[in-house]
Amino acid sequence: MGCYRLKPSDRRDPESYKTRRGKVGGFEDYLSLSEIEELTRRMNETLSPIYGYGD
């Protein structure tokens, strides 16, 4: 019995795996500039500065 949770939904599509490449800044390949700006704004407004998000 293998680990069914980590199986891709479509083995022919590398994007269907549960994990991504782990590339620094890789989210830029998936999100638009406006989405990144919105998420950065939300992080800056809601997360503790101790984490350093949005810097």
Decide if 32 is inside a domain: yes
Decide if 47 is inside a domain: yes
Domain with 42, as residue range(s), is 26-55
Q: How far apart are the first and last CA of the chain?
A: 44
Answer whether residue 2 shows pLDDT above 80: no
Decide if 12 is inside a domain: no
Decide if 14 is inside a domain: no
Decide if 16 is inside a domain: no
Please, which pLDDT band fits residue 55 given cuts at 50, 70 and 90?
Answer: low
- pLDDT, tens digit, for every residue of 13-47? 877 776 767 788 888 988 999 999 999 899 888 98
Please, which pLDDT band fits residue 54 given cuts at 50, 70 and 90?
Answer: low
Number of domains in the chain: 1
Decide if 11 is inside a domain: no
Decide if 30 is inside a domain: yes
- Mapped onto helix, strand or coil, the DSSP state of residue 1 is coil
Decide if 44 is inside a domain: yes
